[in-house]
Amino acid sequence: MGVLVLLSLVLITISFREPSTGALHQVESAGATVLRPFEVGAERIARPFRDVYGYFRGLVHAKRENERLKDELNQARQQALQNESARQENAQLQALLDFQDSPSFPADFRGVSTRILTWGNEFDQQVVIAAGSNQGIHEDTPVVTGDGLVGRVTAVFGSLAQVTLLTDEDSAVSAIDQKTRAVGVVRHGQGRNSLVLDLVTKDKNVRRGDVIVTAGRRSPQFPSLFPRGIQIGTVTSVGQSETSLFKQIQIEPFVDFSSVDAVIALVAQGRKP
């Protein structure tokens, strides 16, 4: 090994010192010429392998890059959904605050703004809200949004409460036609999220498009647990038959019960949490 290294150094030294036309340079040139076909052949043989290697290397790199871009896209999509959800929630909470500051907010009541935690099934029509007796809420506390009446509290815990929606089969509220002053009872209708104004006698005048609100009085005939003037819905149809004592009045509620996320519990001013 030492002899070979020494010989290499001697040849390199001679090559630098010898003119380009010297014997050593001629030998190198002749050797390069002889070996050139082998070099070209080796290059041609090796090129497909290098191309295949480069292809698979690029494929692996592209796959990794694709996975990275997918992860970034998923993260961006999740962030966008969270931002949109937060925007909608803020808009609903702002609408509740605007309603509490408006002249239509019931007097002698304070509002407890809260969000809906869970929904019941379509048969029970009940929700659970994130406020309870710790905030002064009790059974029969009215629950509303800025659009109108939602329902009433039917079970209370420390920091939770169950609300039975107005669309539940067991719900009923004394109501009045805001224009004609015809009085009746709003209850669940035939379809999902449908309401009817019941027990309105035929001599009363109710028209399509009339606004129905809570009556807010405790008469023996139509007892009410709700403050006066809370919007319920608009009349969509009015009918009557020869055999029935009352009109058949259909109501479309102002509240979209399928999209409610935040509500206000109306607590009487004298009641403390």
For 111-147, write each residue's pLDDT tens digit: 999 999 998 766 678 999 999 999 999 999 999 998 9
Pairing of β 211-214 and β 183-188: unpaired
Domain boundaries, the chain: 1-101, 108-273
How distant is the alpha carbon of residue 10 from its chain centre? 81
Position 258, amino acid = S
pLDDT in tens, 227-267: 889 999 999 999 988 888 899 999 999 999 888 889 999 99
SS3 assignment, position 146? coil
Q: Is 139:156 a contact under the CB 8 Å cutoff?
A: yes
SS3 assignment, position 224? coil
SS3 assignment, position 186? strand
108-273 — its CATH code?
2.40.10.340
Tokens of 65: 């890059």
Spatial CA neighbour of 171 closest among 202, 201, 194, 200 = 194
Q: What is the pLDDT of residue 148?
A: 92
Q: Is 183:200 a contact under the CB 8 Å cutoff?
A: yes
Q: Is 214:225 a contact under the CB 8 Å cutoff?
A: no
**Better-predicted residue by pLDDT, 175 or 13:** 175
Q: Give dist(CA 199, CA 127) in Å, integer.
A: 28
SS3 assignment, position 69? helix
Tokens of 117: 């935690």
C-beta neighbour count of 167 within 10 angstroms: 21
Q: Is 251:236 a contact under the CB 8 Å cutoff?
A: yes
Q: Is 251:196 a contact under the CB 8 Å cutoff?
A: yes
Spatial CA neighbour of 142 closest among 176, 123, 122, 166 = 166
Q: What is the pLDDT of residue 83?
A: 72
Highest mean pLDDT among 63-72, 101-110, 120-129, 203-212: 203-212
Q: Give dist(CA 235, CA 61) in Å, integer.
A: 65
